[in-house]
A and B are shown apart, each in its own frame.
Chain A
Amino acid sequence: MYGYIARRLLSTIPVMGVVAIVVFSLLRLTTGDPAAIIAGDSATSQDVADIRTKLGLDRPIVQQFAIWIASVLRGDLGESFFFKKKVTALIAERIEPTLALATCTIILAVSLAVPLGVLAAWRRGTWIDRTVMGFSVLGFSVPVFVIGYALIYVFAIYLSWLPVQGYQRLRDGFAGFIERLILPSITLAVILMALIARITRASVLEVLNADHVRTARAKGLNELAVLGRHALRNAAVPIVTVIGIAVALLIGGVVVTESVYAIPGLGRLTVDAVLARDYPTVQAVILLFSAVYVVINLLVDLTYTLLDPRIRY
């Protein structure tokens, strides 16, 4: 067990290494001088030369990579040339809205999609099943921003129940905070629900035919106990796995949703940084999001043993 955890932890090193190489190459792949790009249009040749020395661009590429990696590991993600401050400070400012949105979305998606998936499996082949699966295909197909604008139109403009856009910090009042998160969370939850409901249904269906479920029914347990205690628990591993995959969808969706709802989070920061050609920020955000993805999938792998005692490493 500890051996497995150690091996699994070690396996994230090559993965993050590849991520680092890709992110590092992003700037080096540009045609032209990265220092000139970073310095911007109004820079003097002295500025460009300074940046070149600072980033070590006059050294061999391997050495440059080593310098960059060393500073990243020290927690120094460089300086944003557009926002004129440390990238780490910039990220710290923008992280709250993104965390709030992601948390609300996951809670919403899991709490709705798992019961719907179980229901669809339980009532397989009926109109309930077909409706849930139909919505699942639809959820995969309607892009996040289309859902976002449709929801804004109906609930914020036509019915005026909720604010159209914007974000309010938690410390400025809970009501305003949650009110502004409802529509973005629903928007972002749709695709996750589609994915989670589909996998829940498939894995519960597989378990429903198992002997122990027949036994549970035969001994007179009510359906709720059969589904919750006997079926869902044994179907938990694929469902948790898919939640790990869903994080990737979530991160991609955050970028779009924050743009639609004008939420000043990390997703919006990514887009602003790309539009401003602010490469240190782009690199840092991509690196951060990828690290989050890798860590969450690591945690998912490690929870398998808790969920299913039969899995031993």
Chain B
Amino acid sequence: MTDHAQPIAAPLPVVVVTPRMGVGRLVRSRSVLSGGAIFVMIVAIGLLAPVLGTVDPARIDPVARNKTPGTQRLVRNDDGTQRTVTYWMGTDSLGRDVYSRVLYGARVSLVVGISVATVSAAIGLLIGLLAGYLRWLDNIAMRVMDGLMSIPAILLAIGLVSISKAGLRSVILAIVIPEVPRVVRLVRSAVLSIREEPYVEAAVALGARTPALLARHVLPNTLAPLVVQATFVCASAIIVEAILSFLGVGIPPETPTWGNIMAEGRALFRIFPHNIFFPGIFLAVTVLAVNMLGDGMRDMLDPRTRKQL
């Protein structure tokens, strides 16, 4: 039955996934291209951290504490020979190599950013689809979302991590919960406009049942704005994770994350600012790249903002 609705569905979607937002278009956008290139580079740095001349990021070396960037030191190997070690980004007050910690820190930020974006997009999509389509659920769900959105995201995340054991999974969960309502709102408003489209009416008239209708006719048309939103969620999740770690309530301090490195460097910031600046620069560049990716995609989706920019 629903197959008959397909030809009607094709020409009339509200937000078209193709061809307006094809891969070709994406690559032609300067913002998407440069944002994507930097993001891929950070991913590569995170993945290749072990082979990029790093040492164990958790290794404490009391002799090499608080070295400024570029310091070289002679280290005696076990067999008696000597080699020179260069601390490209200096060391922290426990003598850990900041360069190694910053490179390994990319992993945590990326894992948190990508998982939060995926999980909150999935949960938000489900709730948003149901709320947008089932009128009885709409009111309840949206009041709950309004309430959740009234609690400032960072405070809610701080409150949530404070009740659970500090760790990667609880940090991800604590950031997902404040992000979900933003996704729900977006998906719901897309569904509300799609459900009035003639092809949805046609599918209903042809006897499509609600689950099939949502999955085959409504869902595909919410995906494009959802991807854009997920990109922004990823950027904000990376920042919130860094803030949680920086405040000392996030991932345990021995794990190298950009926020943890900065938290460690706070006490001696006046004399050794490198502990703050190197992870700070990496953090800012990563978030900038993800935001550029999102901005570029959004401008492509919304011809109105494209014209303005």
Residues on A lying within 8 angstroms of B by beta carbon are: 14-19, 21-23, 26-27, 29-31, 124, 133, 137-138, 140-146, 149-150, 152-153, 157, 164, 202, 205, 248, 251-252, 255-256, 259, 270-271, 274-275, 277, 279, 282-283, 285-286, 289-290, 293-294, 297
Query: Which residues from B are CB-within-8-Å of A149?
Result: 262, 269, 273, 276-277, 280
Q: In the bound complex, do residue B143 and residue A18 qualify as a contact, i.e. CB atoms below 8 Å apart?
A: yes
Question: Closest approach, in angstroms, between the C-beta of B237 and any C-beta of chain A?
Answer: 12
B214: Cβ under 8 A from any A Cβ: no
Q: A149 to nearest B CB, angstroms?
A: 5
Given contacts A149-B269, A275-B248, A290-B155, 17 further A-B contacts (CB under 8 A): A15-B143, A16-B150, A19-B147, A22-B151, A140-B287, A143-B239, A146-B276, A153-B277, A157-B270, A164-B270, A205-B308, A255-B155, A255-B243, A271-B158, A271-B248, A279-B162, A282-B162
In the bound complex, CA of A296 to CA of B153 (Å): 16
Q: Let me know if A252 and B155 touch, CB within 8 A.
A: yes
26 pairs, A vs B, C-beta closer than 8 Å: A14-B146, A16-B147, A22-B147, A22-B156, A23-B151, A26-B162, A124-B308, A140-B235, A140-B291, A145-B262, A145-B280, A146-B283, A149-B280, A153-B269, A157-B270, A252-B152, A255-B243, A259-B247, A270-B155, A271-B249, A275-B248, A285-B155, A289-B155, A290-B152, A293-B150, A297-B150
Give the residues in chain B near A26, CB-CB below 8 Å: 159-160, 162-163
B104 within 8 A of A: no
Q: Which residue of B lies closest to A278 (CB)?
A: B162
Candidates B153, B164, B295; contact of A248 at CB < 8 Å: B153
Give chain A nearest CB distance to B192 CB in angstroms. 19
The CA-CA distance from A254 to B199 in the complex, in Å, is: 48
Q: Is the CB of B284 within 8 A of A141?
A: yes
Q: Which of B158, B249, B283, B295 has a CB less than 8 Å from the CB of A137?
A: B295
Cα distance A279–B161 in the bound complex, in angstroms:
12
Q: Does B103 interact with chain A (Cβ within 8 Å)? A: no
Task: Give the interface SS of chain A, mostly helix, strand, loop or mixed.
Answer: helix
Residues in B whose Cβ lies below 8 Å from that of A29? 163
> Is there contact, CB below 8 Å, between A19 and B151?
yes
Tell me if B150 and A27 are in contact (CB < 8 A): no
B305 sits at the interface (CB 8 A): yes
